[in-house]
Each structure stands twice: as structure tokens, then as C-alpha cells.
Amino acid sequence: MNARFDFTGKTLLLTGATGGIGRQIAALFHQSGANIILMDLDAAQLESVRAQLAVRVVAVAGDATASEAIQEALRLGSASFGEGIDFVVPAAGIYPESSILDTGEDLWRKVMSINLDGVYRLLQASIPRMNDGGAIVNFASVAGHRGSKNHGHYAASKGAILALTRSLAHEVGPKLRVNAVSPGTIRTPMVESLVAAKGAAMLSETPLARYGEAAEVASVVAFLCSDAASFMTGEALHVNGGLFMAG
Ligand SMILES: NC(=O)c1ccc[n+]([C@@H]2O[C@H](COP(=O)([O-])OP(=O)(O)OC[C@H]3O[C@@H](n4cnc5c(N)ncnc54)[C@H](O)[C@@H]3O)[C@@H](O)[C@H]2O)c1
């Protein structure tokens, strides 16, 4: 294994761990030697991911926006792998469809709560436990850069993640690096209905002429956590096949 991508002895805290992208991140980091702390709402799926990885893995089923669940994950992680976390990747997210005019307070709050407030809470709790040289990779989205029709709440939450990523990079450097990934359309359960409704139009605007695979996002997350990205912080990397190109 190339030493830059060897995560042996490092610990990853990952939310949204049973999602399309989360599973691939868990598998890749595990394959690269990392200890993994998994969090997701879906207890049955979480147990199946934990069982597949088998060793160097613990799991907390619960709401990743809840302080108690976050504290439980940190406690279990340090009891199993020792004090200190190296990588934090908050990948939990939701993407409901609703125009701004149709979005009631409850839905607006729910999206903000999971996509933004939960990230703030997770990072605030875990940063004091992170080892020197550690890295955070937040999940933004192409929607956070260019907006998204009928997903204004989601786009607003992801735009805020970009701003949070940059702000945090100022605050936690040089000890830690903080970056974001901005996926385009990646084949996971999250975008099934979007692909069914607008797939052909999106593909015609995508130079690579296909959707992304979750593993193609996981590998960028691993790059951003690795020493290969040692001079990168406060950056957002687009992973979208060219659907959106920003200067
Ligand atoms: N798939 C895409 O095309 C795409 C594009 C841009 C950004 N993203 C972002 O990538 C990340 C991963 O998305 P995905 O495609 O794997 O989605 P997914 O729907 O497959 O997975 C999301 C996971 O988050 C979990 N989750 C939701 N709320 C939670 C909570 N409160 N606590 C704990 N877990 C919770 C779900 O159970 C699910 O396992 C998300 O932040 C998403 O916004 C995805």
C-alpha cells in the first residue's frame, strides 16, 4: 500500500454510514487500515455494514444530530481504539423535494437540522478529540454552488456547509485540515427520484455522460484525508463528471 493512503492506526468517525456514499467510505477507509466509528439512523442496515467490516469497527445507531448519540460514538470509539480521532466525515443528509413556497417551517427545520446543525454539533464535539494532522471532510453538493430547483432548503444547507468549511479551516489550522466534497449526481438512494425525473437532461449536460458512482466520491474523501492533500484546507472539490465547472 502506498504510505500516503495507509490509514493503519487512524480512526474515522463517519455519519450517514449506511447510505450509498457512506458505505463506500467505510469500506475504503477500512481497507486502508483505519478503525471505523459508524453512525446512522438505520439500525438494521448499520448492523449489516458493521458485520461486513467485522474488525476495527464500532457502530452507534441513532440520530447523528443528537448530542447524546454523538457522545456515545465518541465514548465507544475511545474505549475501542484509544483516545484521539483522525478523520471526521459527516455524510448524513436528506434531500426532500419541495419548492420554497411549499416548504413549511417543519420541513425547512428538518433539512437544516440534519444537513447543517448536525454537522456543527458533530464537529464541535469531535474537534477537541482530534489528533494533530487530522482531517475533516464535509459534504456539500453542486446544489450549494449553483442552487437547485425545488431543493432550496437543501441548497441553502449545503451552501452553509461550504461557508462553515472555510471558516473552520481558519480556526483549526495548522493542527487540522478541513475540506469539502461537492458531488454532482451520484447513483445512491438519495437521488433515485431525481434521476427518474430529470436524468436524460442531466446526462446531456455532463461531459463524462454518466452518473457518478459512490466509490468515486469515497476515493476523493480518502484523498482529502490523506497526506497526498497535506497542503489543502478550506477547499471544496467537485466530483460531478463536469456537470458543473466552477472557477
Ligand atoms: N447522491 C448524490 O447525488 C449526492 C449529491 C450531492 C451531495 N450528496 C451528499 O452526500 C452525502 C451522502 O449522500 P448519499 O447519496 O449517500 O445519500 P443516502 O440517502 O444514500 O444516505 C444518507 C444516509 O444518511 C442517513 N441519515 C439521514 N439522517 C440521519 C440522521 N439524522 N442521523 C444519522 N443518519 C442519518 C440515512 O439513514 C442514510 O443512510 C449527503 O450529505 C448528501 O447530501 C449526495
Give the pLDDT confidence score for residue 1 in this predicted structure: 66
Per-residue confidence (pLDDT) for residue 4, from 0 to 100: 83
**To test the ligand 1 pocket, which listed residue (190, 195, 240) has its Cβ within 8 A of the most ligand atoms?**
190
What's the one-letter identity of residue 223? Answer: F
Question: Considering the domain boundaries, does residue 247 fall inside one?
Answer: no
Domain harbouring 210, CATH code? 3.40.50.720
- Does residue 215 belong to any structural domain of this protein? yes
Domain that residue 35 falls in: 3-238
pTM: 0.98
Which residue lies with its CA nearest to atom 21 of ligand 1?
A: 19
The whole-number pLDDT of residue 199 equals 85
User: How many folded domains does the chain comprise?
Assistant: 1
Residue 30 lies in a domain: yes
Residues of the chain with pLDDT under 50: none
245 is a domain residue: no
Does the annotation count 95 as an active-site position? no
- Which residue of 15, 188, 220 sits with most ligand 1 atoms within 8 Å of its CB, as the best mutation to test the pocket? 188
**Residue 244 C-alpha to ligand 1 middle, in angstroms?**
20
pLDDT at 198: 85
pLDDT at site 24: 98
Does 114 map to a domain?
A: yes
88 within a domain of the structure (yes/no) = yes
**Which residues, in sequence order, are CB contacts of 242 under 8 Å at separation 6+?**
206, 207, 208
Position 172 scores a pLDDT of: 98
Ligand 1, residues at Cβ distance < 6 Å: 15-16, 18-22, 39-42, 63-65, 91-95, 114, 118, 139, 141, 183, 185-186, 188-191
Q: Is residue 197 assigned to a domain?
A: yes
pLDDT of residue 81: 98
Which atom belonging to ligand 1 lies closest to the Cα atom of 186? 3
* pLDDT tens-digit readout, 8-60: 999 999 999 999 999 999 999 999 999 999 999 999 999 999 999 999 999 99
For the CA of 217, the nearest atom of ligand 1:
10
What was the pLDDT predicted at 74?
98
Given this model, what pLDDT does residue 200 score?
87
- What's the pLDDT at 76? 98
